[in-house]
Amino acid sequence: MSLSENHDRAARAAARLAPAPVSLMLRQGQGGNNRLYRVTTGDGRHYALKWYARPPGDTRDRLGTEWAALDFLGRHGLEQVPRAIAADAADGFALYEWIEGTAVGEPDTKDIEAALAFAHRLHDLRKMDGADQLPLASEACLTLAELLAQIERRLSRLTEVAAEHPDLSRFLNEDFSPRHHRLVDRAGTAGKVTTAPLPKEHRTLSPSDFGFHNALRRPDGSLVFLDFEYFGWDDPVKLVADFQQHPGMTLPISLARRFAQGAGALYADPGYAERLAATAPLFALRWCLILLNEFLPERWHNRHFAGHGDDRRRAMRSQLAKARSHLRQHATDEAP
């Protein structure tokens, strides 16, 4: 489909979903997977039109998940997220409140407190009407065994394509695999691998892609959190480990530890601290493999849809360097 055809299709969706006649629609930047448009209506209001990618082989309902999450959060009064306006699930479009704001940039202690306050609200909402109808978060890790299985699945898929990429093959064999075996043995020796899922009373509601990379700072300084395509029930430990380690933002060690400490006071779970210590390095292994998704052919379906360029080799080199750095920095025996 040509650029003009894509624009026309999005314009028709905007006309269907907007609460007033559309006067202007502009494409906004390049998202990781989707297309985003700023829609202006004749009454001067602005909206965000999101066109969701539907990659082959990916059965996740990103639109349905995000729409249900923002609708639920909005109904329960959260102002730190965009309001859900309208959706056309059949055509892959949803309309949300447009958030005027800027990137967070370098976060400070006040931002950490804002993130903790948001996590606290999410945790409180687990008891509200409709919460039990929300799904598990995408790739939820309610047992350590599931986390290990996710690592194995991602490693297996990358190993399939590594023969075509010598640099990737060397990294997996010489750097990743020795660390992987050591950390898995450490977890097994400690006796923390279990098939029993985390009890429901200790789970939380999680964006599952939570961090300042998915936030905007409003003119008044308050933060709005974005991207709820993977939202759902999960272990708070995964939320915390992912927040601390997310490659999409740079978080100083002092702030990462402040977030973990604040979260520890929030989650009334006697096993929280032990699980975080045991699994944080394993989540780091998982992030290393996620960073290497650029080596997978199916990844580029999403990238092309979102409007990224075609220099795949440069992207692979960059992501491999990030994976090496992440492995050195986070896949260690040190306390998170």
Residues 118 and 181 in one domain: yes
**Residues 25, 10 contacting (CB under 8 angstroms):** yes
Give the single-character DSSP code of 136. Answer: B
**Residues 91, 50 contacting (CB under 8 angstroms):** no
pLDDT range class, residue 191, cuts 50, 70, 90: low
The answer as to whether 148 is a domain residue is yes
Of 155, 187, 164, 197, residue with least CA distance to 292: 155
Give 146: exposed, middle or buried? Use CB within 10 Å, 0-12, 13-18, 19+.
middle
The answer as to whether 233 is a domain residue is yes
Residues 144 and 211 in one domain: yes
Q: What is the pLDDT of residue 30?
A: 63
Does position 123 have pLDDT exceeding 70, yes or no?
A: yes
Residues 183 and 212 in one domain: yes
The answer as to whether 336 is a domain residue is no
> What number of other Cβ atoms are within 10 A of residue 139's Cβ?
18
Percent of the chain with pLDDT over 90: 77
pLDDT range class, residue 278, cuts 50, 70, 90: confident
Does position 189 have pLDDT exceeding 90, yes or no?
A: no
Q: What is the pLDDT of residue 309?
A: 56
Tens of pLDDT along 18-44?
Answer: 999 999 999 997 656 789 999 999 999
Of 28, 51, 19, 5, residue with least CA distance to 229: 51
Tens of pLDDT along 285-310?
Answer: 999 999 999 999 877 665 555 555 56
Does position 171 have pLDDT exceeding 80, yes or no?
A: yes
Rounded Cα distance between 49 and 231, Å, is 19
Does position 56 have pLDDT exceeding 80, yes or no?
A: no
Rounded Cα distance between 278 and 62, Å, is 30
- Mean pLDDT, the chain, rounded, equals 91
> What number of other Cβ atoms are within 10 A of residue 192's Cβ?
17
Q: What is the pLDDT of residue 57?
A: 73
Q: Which of 97, 126, 145 is the last residue of a domain?
A: 97
Across the range 235-262, mean pLDDT stands at: 94
The answer as to whether 165 is a domain residue is yes
Q: What is the pLDDT of residue 334?
A: 63
- CATH number of residue 164's parent domain: 3.90.1200.10
Q: Which of 49, 66, 97 is the last residue of a domain?
A: 97
pLDDT range class, residue 220, cuts 50, 70, 90: very high
Tens of pLDDT along 134-153?
Answer: 999 999 999 989 999 999 99
SS (H, E, C) 245-266: HCCCCCCCHHHHHHHHHHHHHH
Residues 65 and 210 in one domain: no
Q: Specify the pTM.
A: 0.90
Tens of pLDDT along 151-169?
Answer: 999 999 999 999 999 999 9
Does position 68 have pLDDT exceeding 60, yes or no?
A: yes
| φ, ψ dihedrals at 123, nearest 5° | -65, -40
Q: What is the pLDDT of residue 5?
A: 85
Q: What is the pLDDT of residue 298?
A: 78
- CATH number of residue 10's parent domain: 3.30.200.20
Rounded Cα distance between 193 and 48, Å, is 43
Residues 298 and 177 in one domain: yes
- Counting the structural domains of the chain, the total is 2
Residues 271 and 203 in one domain: yes
**Domain boundaries, position 87:** 3-97
Give 216: exposed, middle or buried? Use CB within 10 Å, 0-12, 13-18, 19+.
middle
Residues 30 and 167 in one domain: no
Q: What is the pLDDT of residue 53?
A: 83
**Residues 136, 232 contacting (CB under 8 angstroms):** yes
Tens of pLDDT along 101-119?
Answer: 999 989 999 999 999 999 9
DSSP string, 101-131: -EE--S--HHHHHHHHHHHHHHHHGGGSTTG
The answer as to whether 270 is a domain residue is yes
Does position 262 have pLDDT exceeding 90, yes or no?
A: yes
Does position 8 have pLDDT exceeding 60, yes or no?
A: yes
Residues 134 and 202 in one domain: yes
Q: What is the pLDDT of residue 296?
A: 92
Residues 225 and 158 in one domain: yes
Residues 301 and 171 in one domain: yes
- Beta-carbon contacts of residue 336 (< 8 Å; ≥ 6 apart): 240, 241, 244, 256, 257, 260, 276, 277, 280
Residues 257 and 308 in one domain: yes
Residues 39 and 149 in one domain: no
The answer as to whether 315 is a domain residue is yes
Q: Which of 48, 80, 97 is the last residue of a domain?
A: 97
